[in-house]
Amino acid sequence: MSGTTSTALRIRRGITLPLLLLVVWEFSSRTGLVDPRFLPPLESVIATARRELFGNDLIFDLLSSLARNLCGFLLGAAVGIAFATVLALSPLAGRLVMPTFNGFKQISLLAWIPLISVWFGFGEQAKIVFVALACFIPVVLNTYDGMRDAPADLIEVGRALQFNARQRFWRIYLPSAMPAIATGIHLGLIYSWLATVGAEYFLAVGPGIGGLVIAGRERFDMAMVMVGVIILGLVGFSLNRLAATVENHLLRWRPPRAA
Amino acid sequence: MILTSFLRATAGAAFALALSWQPTLAAEPLVIHVGYAAIGVDNRPFAEGTSAATARAGEFLEKEFANDPDVKIEWTFFKGAGPAVNEGFANDQLDFAYQGDLPSLIGRATGLKTKYLLASGARKPSYLAVAKESGIRKIEDLKGRKVALQRGTNSHLAAIKILEAHGLKERDVQVVNLDSAATVAALTSKDIDAAFGDTQLINLAAKGSADIIYTTKGDDPRFGRNAGIIAREAFITAHPQITQRVVDAFVKAAQWSSDETNRAAQFELWGKSGTPIPILEEYFSKDTLAYRNSPLIDDLLVSQYKEQAVKSKEFGLIRRDVDLNGWFEPKYLDNALERLKLKSFWQPYGADGKPTAS
Amino acid sequence: MAVLTVTEVHAAGGAPRVWRKRTMRGLTALLLPAALLLLWWTASDRGWLAEQILPHPVYVFEALRDMLASGDLVYHVGVSLRRVLIGFAIGACLGLALGIAMGLSERVEDYVKPLFLAFAQIPTLGWIPLLMLLVGIGETLKIIVITKGALVPMTLNTFAGIRNVSPRYLEVADALRFTRWQRLRLVILPAAIPFVFTGIRYGLTHAWTSLVGVELLASSEGLGYLLVWGRQMFWLDTVIIAMLAIGVVGFIMDGGLNRTERLIQRWKRSEI
């Protein structure tokens, strides 16, 4: 279906709407069609971005958010993979724990905020734990499913070759679960960014992009909110791309699976 | 190979995490964690209106321990106000805190092991501001309207008492839970009809973005709010001398804050919180500094707390009875007053609100 | 059809064994929650667990009983459910329409998708402060946020579903000289239904998560508000009840959709 239209045309089409939006935005804010408090002119958004970047600590805010995100993500992913491996390799453990886990995962992530706040307080730990929890859930689900779906014939081969537990893990379960783990990690990365923003909104005040957005709203500074929201989107986008690249890289040895 | 590098990264993260955990675990040097149940404008780490705010901005605690390189003071200001301070006490991240009456009573009722060491910012007035063109002229008009308050703070309790005195219950108004900064934004944009609070509302009214239609100032003093310096029991037991010195520093700050010759300097100091000086002048108009900044745990204060406890239970803010016996710990305050020769500096008040002869 | 009969026969023949196995599984699944509850109970009783970290289960049950008796819990659940259903209905319809439009027309896709994806990159939580400035903190805010939460997965899945229709089917449709409408109704939409359903499931999950977020930030009723309320008043029992309510509602919605999804798939299989 695709490929019939040239790339140039597609790009031209793709930027039409955004450009149109920008023109309408600029026009309406310049002619006073809308209240500039709700839709500040483009240049004031750019000026705000400048001010935050050079005058204030935008970079520091961004780095703080990213560091928080990364710490939580790594913690959640590592614990998640280990946890899911144990559950998947021991059928009894899986049957014991997975139903409870599936029940717990139904509780929306943000609903954990009050308890995490009470358990971990106002420091950085609380935020990192929250981000880790966000990453933990999809990683566990996908890793578990991936390992449980290891092809029966491979397991049979392993039994024939008298693999020990470690060999079974490294040679059979892990490789066959790799695509699922990659999906879990990808989802975990997206969720952990969401959770980073949530943590900055609802846990104690600290440097971060989420805090910047909230502060912008409190000051009724739409330009500042916009700058923050755009950064949130850009980081989300970059993380998504990064995850996709890593996913492809991790799975590059895998021949494309037939159907 | 990818896996090993992944593991290495994980180990790195765990290490980083361990590092970030360190400060709370490290025993030496001693870090005294002091919390404050408010935050400055635009999240400035300062406050105003209390002797504790003076201690912070005037660095009274830091000066007290200036010659002890092993003791560090760490201040934390809470946007989540008193309720957030309770969370800090719950996992031992705070040693001392300035906190209002209701949240500290809630903490006590929930089993937090704290002591009340001295008063600070007791007798603070409350204000009721309404959005422009909201049509609200008196408290009775609030029925059914959207009213912002920060749940679980001493301002919450004060608001309920004010509503009650005018024949309204909390359920008669539509309560929107907002912190002080969010209240300002919501009142300006008329998302809410009214709000209870203090200096941020005076400031808003001064800018013409809202109208103040009521204040407890000059009204029944029982509508006022109380607050004080609360400390974690385990810290007091472990470091009685340090506790004494912290209390000394707070008392010195209270003394400075109560001295009328410092009125202008004090408002300047509190200005670090971002609250304009004229607003602070208005906030303290007609009150003597010594009345507002007294650290005394006198009969008036104790009876007020007892009444707040009863009221809180009555209003359903606290579900279980809260026992105040043994919570007030005036020992350190008395020592400080003795040592600093301030025994007759402040006028104690009786439970009836009248000065008592001492 | 054949597959179905085999499984049915198998299930019928081994019914008692299947049942015994199921009961065993059910019991095993309940072991951990029971153990956790027992541990929680003992720890609270013996004072190993401070009350301000986790309240005694008895307090939680008492609070639950009180909130059920007073109707508070039902009220807050009702408020939240109404918001989610309205927002989800709007978001799902819009998403379906947008997904179909982009799926059918490459031109629409080229024009709309880049902008749509750019908007979708921004987490729902990020939109909330911006929308608060635009529409205030009233009911409109909640509905818009939930709508957005449902819209994105719905659009993307519908789009993917339509694009994933096997070219062979389309060839058949061409051979049969189907009109455009026939192609859409008889070939493309039925083939896309499983994807649309995935969209509905994710959409509803996202809508539910967004609801909690927006209710945490600004509201005076609903389950998110109950959470904030409990947090502010340091009533951890209320917090736990709100969490459980959020989980139970999420579970029921997810479970219901899961079952419907399987039914639809079975119906599809039998049709083919």
pLDDT tens across B261-301, in order?
999 999 999 999 989 999 999 898 888 899 899 999 999 89
- Do residue C52 and residue B186 have CB atoms under 8 angstroms apart? no
Name chain A contacts of C212, Cβ cutoff 8 Å. Answer: 108, 110-111
Residues A6 and A96 in one domain: no
- Range with lowest mean pLDDT among B280-284, C11-15, C150-154: C11-15
Nearest to C130 among A17, A109, A226 (CB): A226
Please state whether the predicted TM-score (pTM) of the whole model is above 0.90.
no
Of all residues in chain B, the one with the smallest CA distance to C224 is B177
Q: Is residue B243 part of a domain?
A: yes
* Per-residue confidence (pLDDT) for residue C269, from 0 to 100: 65
Residue B176 bridge partners (DSSP): B148
What type of residue sits at position B67? Answer: N
Name chain A contacts of B23, Cβ cutoff 8 Å. Answer: 123
3-state secondary structure of B115: strand
Nearest to A95 among C28, C53, C240 (CB): C28
Nearest to A120 among B7, B91, B188 (CB): B91
Tokens of A153: 């014939």
Is there a contact between B167 and C114 (Cβ–Cβ < 8 Å)? Answer: no
Residues B200 and B302 in one domain: no
Residues A12 and A107 in one domain: no
Is there a contact between A203 and A113 (Cβ–Cβ < 8 Å)? Answer: yes
Domain span including residue A20: 1-34
Residues A70 and A28 in one domain: no
* Per-residue confidence (pLDDT) for residue A259, from 0 to 100: 36
Is there a contact between B152 and B103 (Cβ–Cβ < 8 Å)? Answer: yes
Measured at the CA of B28, the angle between CA B24 and CA B32, to 5 degrees, comes to 60
Helix A174-202 with A113-120: angle, nearest 10 deg: 80
Subunits close to A (at least 3 CB pairs below 8 A): B, C
Residues A125 and A18 in one domain: no
Q: What is the dihedral of CA B50, B54, B56, B60, to 10 degrees?
A: -130
- Do residue C236 and residue A197 have CB atoms under 8 angstroms apart? no
Is there a contact between B146 and C137 (Cβ–Cβ < 8 Å)? Answer: no
Q: Sheet holding B30-36: strands in order across?
A: B71-77, B30-36, B96-100, B227-232, B114-119
> What is the Cα–Cα distance from A188 to B236, expressed in whole angstroms?
43
C104-122 residue pLDDT tens: 888 888 888 888 988 888 8
Of 4.10.1240.10, 1.10.3720.10, 1.10.630.10, 3.30.390.10, which CATH number belongs to C63-271? 1.10.3720.10
Q: Is residue B358 part of a domain?
A: no
Number of domains in chain B: 2
Tokens of B54: 């003076």
CATH number, domain containing residue B92: 3.40.190.10
Subunits close to C (at least 3 CB pairs below 8 A): A, B
Residues B298 and B270 in one domain: yes
Residues A53 and A119 in one domain: yes
ipTM: 0.84
Q: Is residue A258 part of a domain?
A: no
Is there a contact between B261 and B40 (Cβ–Cβ < 8 Å)? Answer: no
User: What's the distance, CA B340 to chain centroid?
Assistant: 25
> What is the Cα–Cα distance from C234 to B86, expressed in whole angstroms?
8
> What is the Cα–Cα distance from A185 to A245, expressed in whole angstroms?
12
Nearest to B129 by CA among B155, B103, B161, B99: B155
Name chain B contacts of C44, Cβ cutoff 8 Å. Answer: none
Is there a contact between B129 and B147 (Cβ–Cβ < 8 Å)? Answer: no
- Do residue B181 and residue A218 have CB atoms under 8 angstroms apart? yes
Helices (H), A31-151: 42-50, 58-89, 91-104, 113-120, 124-148
Is there a contact between B79 and B101 (Cβ–Cβ < 8 Å)? Answer: no
Name chain A contacts of C255, Cβ cutoff 8 Å. Answer: none
Are β-strands B114-119 and B227-232 bridged in parallel, bridged antiparallel, or unpaired?
A: antiparallel
- Do residue C52 and residue B176 have CB atoms under 8 angstroms apart? no
Tokens 């937090």 belong to which residue? Answer: B112
Please report, in tens digits, the pLDDT of each residue of chain A (259 residues total): 444 568 888 888 888 888 898 888 888 887 877 777 778 888 888 888 888 888 778 888 899 999 999 999 999 999 999 999 988 888 888 888 888 888 888 898 999 999 999 888 888 889 999 999 999 999 999 999 988 888 888 888 888 888 887 888 888 888 888 888 888 998 899 899 999 999 998 888 888 899 889 888 888 888 899 999 999 999 988 988 888 888 887 777 665 543 3
Residues B216 and B233 in one domain: no
Number of domains in chain A: 2
* Per-residue confidence (pLDDT) for residue A255, from 0 to 100: 55
Of all residues in chain C, the one with the smallest CA distance to A219 is C133
Q: Characterize C149-184 residue by residue with b for buried, 16 or more Cβ atoms within 10 angstroms of its Cβ, and e for exposed.
A: bbbbbbbbbbbbbbbebeeeebeebeeeebeeeebb
- Do residue C228 and residue B317 have CB atoms under 8 angstroms apart? no
Nearest to C136 among B151, B174, B191 (CB): B191
Q: In chain A, how long is the greatest CA-to-CA distance? A: 79
Helices (H), chain C: 2-13, 15-46, 57-70, 72-104, 106-121, 124-135, 139-163, 167-175, 180-182, 189-217, 223-233, 236-271
Is there a contact between B77 and B39 (Cβ–Cβ < 8 Å)? Answer: yes
Task: Out of B188, B223, B258, pick the residue that ends a domain.
Answer: B223
3-state secondary structure of B196: strand
Which of C37, C51, C110 to mutate to test binding with chain A, by most A CBs within 10 Å of its CB?
Answer: C110
> What is the Cα–Cα distance from B254 to B297, expressed in whole angstroms?
13
CB of A138 within 8 Å of any CB in chain C? Answer: no
Q: Is residue A255 part of a domain?
A: no
Tokens 């300002």 belong to which residue? Answer: B184
Tokens 């709370």 belong to which residue? Answer: B24
Domain span including residue B133: 127-223
> What is the Cα–Cα distance from A244 to A20, expressed in whole angstroms?
30
Residues B181 and B206 in one domain: yes
Q: Sheet holding B146-149: strands in order across?
A: B174-177, B146-149, B194-197, B127-131, B210-215
Residue C4 has pLDDT above 70, yes or no: no
Average pLDDT of the residues in C248-264: 86
> What is the Cα–Cα distance from A208 to B17, expressed in whole angstroms?
18
Which of B108, B191, B313 to mutate to test binding with chain C, by most C CBs within 10 Å of its CB?
Answer: B191
Length of chain C: 272
Tokens of C51: 């009350």
